Structure 1
Amino acid sequence: MSGRKIKIMYIITALGVGGAEKILLSTIKKLNRKIFIPYVVSLYQENTLADEFREYCDNVYCLGHYIKYNPLVVRKIRKIIMKVKPDIVHTHLPHATIWGRIAAHFAGVKVIITTEHNMSIWKKWNVPFYFLYRWTTKFTNRIIAVSRAIKQLLVDKFNVPPSKIKVIYNGIDTDIILNNAIVPNEVTTLSHPIIGTIGRLHKIKGHEVLIKSMPPIVEKFPKCNLIIIGDGVERVRLQMLAKKLNMEKNIHFLGCRHDPVGILKAIDIFVFPSIEEGLGIALIEACAFGKPCIASMVGGIPEIIKDGINGYLIPSNNPQIIAEKVIYLLNNPVECNLIASRNKLLVRNKFSLSAVVKEIETLYKQTIISFEN
């Protein structure tokens, strides 16, 4: 590869404001342009982050009328691959991974890499897609798992050789996040304490459990507010639940935001009640702000939160325990301060974006060298 730059084509389902999309954008921003040229293919129409991706990529292709289970999308991806001639195809998210791998394979791409952010969706897929994943993994050179929990699932459920998988945690740029965090006006008017959570409004994110935990918290702290950042199919049902519990004045649905870190800056406690989770970039961001965190003991979350040290791990689907932990932390500000300092140190040492991107770049170079040899 000496003498010319390495072309990398990232294939992802969409360019919205989800965790995987934000992680990919952050990675591309940090890539060494003296060595790598990034391209992006989105299976869907243009989304919120498309223009920002264009600022940092040689080209961005949005296919426009993507249908999840339509294999004809492979032809569209293959056509773009044949035009760009990337050295590496790197896929993200399930549908993009299946179709992107197949297109890259039949286009003759020598190095195919996949990042697995969260394996929960694979559990719901039908048998053909399970075998498609197994089959396409055979011609995938490396898989990046964003947590040890995901690596173990790949080995146990999909028979992926452990040597093919490398664990690289999600990273964040703490300098940018902390320096650019501006608390929005609608949050500055809220009374404290403020509890916050971030995530798409889907059942696996556990928002219902968090909402059900609010009545006993408000009973002890009547001015307490809960901020929910994110949108999705569950929004109307969750709003109705808040109203049913007489919590509509205390629970605020702020939808998808471009300024979630500003809201993180304002909150007092971060709750991450996921039922399934790969790692959780929002949880890492909350730790960067030194927020006491209460999070479900699922997936890769215990690789971030150590119970009683830098937060509290709880069983999923248990609103009573969430309420107990929130009330305990609100009554113990000294412990909150200790947790804050530990979380800030954790993020600097373990989840630095610069270190993560260097690991990914090294993997790219090593995989190409291994293939050529």
Structure 2
Amino acid sequence: MEYTSKPKVAELIRKANGGMKEHYISLIEGLIVAGIEVIAICSFSLKDRQKLKKVGATVIPFILKDRINPIWDILAILRLTRILRKNKIDLVHCHGFRAGMIGRVAALLAKCHCIYTIHNFLPMNLGKRRIKIVAWAEKILSGITKKIITVSQALKDEAAQRLGIDKHKIRVIYNGIVPPQKSNTSNKRQIIREKWGVSKDEKLVGTVARLIPSKGIETLIEAVPLVMERYSQIKFMIVGDGPQLSFLKEKAKKLNCDKNIIFAGYSEYIWYYYEAFDIFVLPSLSEGLGISILEAMAMGNPVIASRVGGIEEIVKHNWNGYLITPGNSRELADAVLYYLANPYKAQEYADKAKLELNDKFHLDNMVKETFQIIREVLNS
């Protein structure tokens, strides 16, 4: 069947923050511009729902619980099936494991086409029994999924090897961004640094991340006193919120480095913070790709990141960034000190990263490739 009219696509996602949420909103905006009628089925905040409506999406609030609950999941599948039928959806695009489980069954019942994007690796704290259950479910559900998208080659490899999904059904589409133009003045940089008490003489090492174990922020805090042994004119800034906030603040106090660490919390003005940073760090223990790395590179920050997951597809060690062993605070400290001692090398890496960014990780590419998959599936 060849689709010539405007297709109706439902984009389904659980409550999400950080890169996954930004990916979802940016993709929807791009698909609408490309001529697709998008129904956003999500449990985002009122502000985020209004943002989606503003770009032209129809928004239907829908709660997806984080944990598997057989009774609740059955009710959610039935409710979602009714929504898909009522809105005459042509294709459902599920984002993440929970949306993938509920959404693909509902799509089958509603007789819709279905595609599925894997954004992250399996949670680090998932036990062997749960991993087996998830792997079994993913393998079964892949049989009713037309196409599966992963945001990195590393995720594709895991989906094929660990979850048993046919690799020919999986396509890699990298996350993409469109950064704002960096300001010609130092005004935004100055505003952020003055707000948080960072002097002109101090270097500012920053990270942008949700405060969860997989982001490895504990490793960053452990590296702070190691850096300060050799370089005292420095502050570290953590931009983001999450369940580990209290734990991380307490960790900083125990290591007696809390006065040099700024917990800035969540901010909508994230690009201002990148302008304020001298060095960007993302010491993840697990990472699908790392949108914040792309953002930092786009703003000209020298990057230090973990040698894990999809990060190695963005950062090439000693070429456009510096890679460390996950969880190794000594290596992280040494990397920061290397950049501080070699500012010309840090700038060289940052310049190379910025040049490569537009070729591979631009939002237009992400939208175009996703649009092509939607068209392929609808016309199959």
2:31 aligned residue? 31
8 Å contact from structure 2 (residues 40, 58) kept in 1: yes
User: Aligned residue for 1:62?
Assistant: 61
Distance between the aligned counterparts of 1:37 and 1:208, measured in 2? 43
**Paired residues of 1:46 and 1:62 also in contact (CA < 8 A):** no
- TM-score scaled by length of structure 2: 0.91
Instruction: Provide the C-alpha distance between the structure 1 equivalents of 2:122 and 2:65, rounded to a whole number of angstroms.
Output: 22
Matches within 5 A, 1:14-25: 14=15, 16-25=16-25
CA distance change for structure 1 residues 328 and 63 in 2, over 3 Å: closer, same or farther?
Answer: same
Matched position secondary structure for 1:194? strand
2-structure distance, mates of 1:76, 1:328: 55
Distance in 2 (alpha carbons) for counterparts of 1:290 and 1:186: 17
Aligned to 1:209: 219
Taking every aligned residue pair, what percent have the same amino acid on both sides?
A: 32
TM-score (norm 1): 0.93
* Structure 1 segments unaligned to the other structure (5+ residues): none
CA RMSD of aligned residues (A): 2.0
| Pair 1:307–1:364, CA change in 2 (3 A) | same
Structure 1 residues 56 and 219, CA, compared in 2 at 3 Å: closer, same or farther?
Answer: same
Change (3 A) 1:34 1:249: closer
- Cα separation, 1, equivalents of 2:369 and 2:63: 33
- Structure 1 residues 78 and 177 mapped into 2: Cα distance closer, same or farther (>3 Å)? farther
Match of residue 98, structure 1, among 90, 97, 101 = 101
CA distance in 2, matches of 1:55, 1:116: 26
The answer to whether the 8 A contact 1:118-1:278 is kept is yes
- Per-residue deviation, 1:304: 0.4
Return the alpha-carbon distance in structure 2 between the equivalents of residues 238 and 365 of structure 1. Answer: 46
SS state at 1:310 partner: coil
What CA distance in whole angstroms lies between the structure 2 residues aligned with 1:20 and 1:313? 23
* Unaligned runs of at least 5 residues, structure 2: none
Residue in structure 2 matched with residue 149 of structure 1 by the alignment: 154
Q: Which amino acid aligns with 1:190?
A: V
Give the equivalent residue in structure 2 for 1:41.
Answer: 41
Counterpart-to-counterpart distance in 1, 2:357 and 2:56: 27
Rounded to whole Å, the distance in 1 between the matches of 2:261 and 2:215 is 16
What is the CA–CA distance in structure 1 between the aligned matches of 2:338 and 2:289, rounded to whole Å? 25
CA displacement, residues 43-92 of structure 1 (integer Å, 9 cap, x when unaligned): x3635522211212431111258464221211221111111111110010
Deviation string, structure 1 residues 143-199 (Cα, Å, up to 9, x no partner): 11111000011110122111101111000013x364699448443341321001111
Contact 2:211 2:217 in 1 (8 A): yes
Q: How many residues align?
A: 366
Q: Cα deviation per residue 1:255-275 (whole Å; 9 max; x = unaligned)?
A: 121111210111011111000
CA shift, 1:237, in A, is 0.7
Q: Which of 172, 176, 186 is the equivalent residue of 1:171? A: 176
**In the alignment, what sits opposite 1:366?**
376
**8 Å contact from structure 2 (residues 64, 98) kept in 1:** no
Structure 1 residue 37 displacement after superposition: 0.6
Query: SS at 1:140's partner residue?
Result: coil
